[in-house]
């Protein structure tokens, strides 16, 4: 029954366990995708709740945990690119809102003291391929420090 499957998806989002990911993913995409929109919507929301936990993990006291959480969050964000071109306006709005001010934040990373961080930020901004990325990249390229210029190139 549809309402039971929606409740199950919602309940799975509250279970902090890796085993919750598989049934939620199956309900959302693939051969076993649920036919009911409300169930797929609940599964997507539940996975979003799990992503929020990743955001919390990005503040962990251990650098390795923070790095793993950042990589996982980045892979989720990177997959929003095609959604920004969706035919439905509401979908594009949701994707753009989810990305928020990421270009601004990456622009701040172009000023990091570590070259590897500046290179990663410049690469990420180039992957955005959007007007938002132009300003921080341009500023980094014409900035005062020679190291920052070379990182962007």
Instruction: Please tell me the predicted confidence (pLDDT) of residue 151.
Output: 53
**Distance (Å, rounded) from C-alpha 67 to C-alpha 57?**
9
Q: Is the dihedral of CA 75, 14, 17, 69 positive or negative?
A: positive
Torsion of CA 122, 127, 130, 132, to 10 degrees: -30
C-alpha neighbours within 13 Å on the C-beta side of residue 63: 0
Per-residue pLDDT of 96-124, as tens digits, reads: 777 666 777 777 888 889 999 888 888 87
Name the residue with higher pLDDT: 62 or 82. Answer: 62
Q: Is the pLDDT at 57 greater than 60, yes or no?
A: yes
Average pLDDT over residues 14-31: 76
Q: What percent of the chain shows pLDDT beyond 90?
A: 4
pLDDT band of 61, cuts 50, 70, 90: very high
- Decide if 26 contacts 35 (C-beta within 8 A): no
Look at the pTM and tell me if it is higher than 0.75: no
């Amino acid at each position: 029954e549809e309402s039971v499957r929606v409740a199950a998806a919602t309940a799975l989002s509250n279970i902090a366990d890796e085993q919750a990911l598989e049934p939620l993913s199956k309900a959302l995409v693939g051969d076993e995708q649920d036919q009911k929109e409300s169930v797929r919507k609940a599964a997507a929301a539940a996975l979003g709740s799990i992503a929020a936990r990743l955001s919390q993990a990005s503040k962990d006291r251990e650098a390795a945990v923070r790095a793993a959480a950042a990589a996982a969050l980045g892979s989720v964000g990177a997959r929003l690119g095609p959604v920004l071109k969706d035919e439905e306006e509401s979908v594009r709005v949701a994707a753009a809102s989810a990305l928020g001010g990421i270009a601004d934040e990456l622009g701040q990373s172009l000023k990091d003291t570590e070259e590897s961080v500046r290179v990663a930020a410049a690469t990420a901004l180039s992957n955005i391929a959007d007007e938002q990325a132009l300003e921080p990249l341009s500023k980094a390229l014409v900035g005062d420090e020679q190291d920052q210029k070379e990182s962007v190139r």
